[in-house]
Structures are given as C-alpha cells and as structure tokens.
Amino acid sequence: MSTPRDQLSLSQPSVSVVPDTGHIRSDRIETSVRTIADLHGVFADEAARSSIDQDQIVYHVERYQPVPDGTSGGLFFGTSFLQPGTVGGEYFMTKGHFHARPETAEYYWCVAGEGALILMDSDRSARAEFMQPGSLHYIPGYTAHRLANTGSTPLIVGACWPADAGHDYASIARDGFSVRLVQGEHGPVLVSAD
Ligand code: S6P
Ligand code: ZN
C-alpha cells in the first residue's frame, strides 16, 4: 500500500500559442511592425517600392521575451506574419539579419502559408529552403536569414533564438543578400544579386 504524499498544485502556463494562427497569447507580448516605408533599400527596384502605399504593412512580429534582452542562456520565442505581395517582381520579405553574436543559431518553423527561407553565410554563399506548414528550419550560426512569402496568404513562421543573440541589421543594410527571390514564369526563382 502506498504512503500518502503531499499534493503539489499544477498551474496554467502564462503563455500559449494558437495552433493554426501562430498568435502568441500572453500579457507580455512585444510587437514590431514593418511597413513598405521601413523597407527602403531592401528590394532591388527602389522606384517600385517608393510607388507603393508607404503605410502598407509588410510584416509584423509578436515576441515573447521572458528574460531581459542579452541574458546568457535564455531563449526568446516569436511569430512572424509576412503578408503576400511583390515589389517589382520580388516577393515581400523580411529585412533579414545576422545575429550580433554571430555564432548563435535559431529555429524557424512554418505555421501557415508558403514561402522560402533565404540563408547566406559570412562568405556570401547563399541558399534557400522551401517553407510549408510543418517545415522546420535550423539556421546555423554565422548565417544571415530572411523570409520571403511566395504565396497568396500570410506566411506565418515561429522562431526560437537565444536571448543574447541580438541583431546585426547593419551588415545587410550595407551589403544586402547575394541572392534575390523573384517571380519566374513557373514560380519562385533564386537569382544572383552580386
Ligand atoms: C529573430 C528572428 C525573427 C525575425 C523576424 C523579422 O532573431 O530571426 O523573429 O526578427 O522574422 O525579421 P527581421 O530580419 O526584420 O528581424
Ligand atoms: Zn534571427
């Protein structure tokens, strides 16, 4: 016969992720929004970008950051919502970045929509992976990463990265990616940008 033990109470987690939409439910979510105006210099066709409604939202990110930015050993969680669209034949995409601590890795996984994850090493060698619901993408250290939406619905992508990874946007703002994802006759085509 077992001896009686103290009963410990279980609690509800303070954060959840809506399965089909990727939205994060918590009272401490941080959200950032990027409009067409924010993406100056990102697309090859700057004239086309400047002719679009500058207030149009291209993507937004919901982030759950349970520890202070920069905490060694901590993890952040986020969902990116990238709208469908093109600028001069180039698919809507995120700014893209290396991590400020370049050795840090990250996981992406696709919740909904279709698109591509564009990856570039520090020697500018680039590649891209298709994204579809359920696809999981390991982004190694020293690798710039950018999402592109090739579909007609929002591309929704979950992410988990180290709390001390930080973001290096300056390298991409200065040098760009070495490839661009453009509309081809039969679908997306990765072309050289260098
Ligand atoms: C953070 C992670 C994502 C991106 C988001 C927006 O390390 O990679 O949450 O921040 O996809 O992209 P970007 O390039 O504008 O930060
Ligand atoms: Zn990242």
In this structure, which residues have their CB less than 5 angstroms from ion ligand 2? 106
Report the predicted TM-score, pTM, of the whole model to 2 decimal places: 0.96
Query: Can you say whether the dihedral through the CA atoms of 52, 53, 55, 61 is positive or negative?
Result: negative
**Higher pLDDT among residues 23 and 8, named by residue:** 23
Ligand 1 atom closest to Cα of residue 139: 8
Distance 97 CA to ligand 2 centre (A): 6
116 lines ligand 1 (CB under 6 A): no
Query: Which residue minimizes the CA distance to atom 1 of ligand 1?
Result: 161
Of 114, 189, 174, 183, which is closest to residue 144 (Cα–Cα)? Answer: 174
d(CA 182, CA 86) in angstroms, rounded, equals: 9
161 lines ligand 1 (CB under 6 A): yes
DSSP per-residue codes, 2-54: PPP-PPPPP---S-EE-TTT--EE-SSEEEEEEETGGGTTTSS-HHHHHHS-T
124 lines ligand 1 (CB under 6 A): no
Distance 160 CA to ligand 2 centre (A): 8
Say what the pLDDT of residue 95 is. 98
User: Is residue 63 scored above 60 in pLDDT?
Assistant: yes
147 lines ligand 1 (CB under 6 A): yes
**Higher pLDDT among residues 121 and 4, named by residue:** 121
pLDDT in tens, 171-189: 999 999 999 999 999 999 9
Q: Looking up tokens 């190694």, which residue turns up? A: 140
Amino acid at 147: L
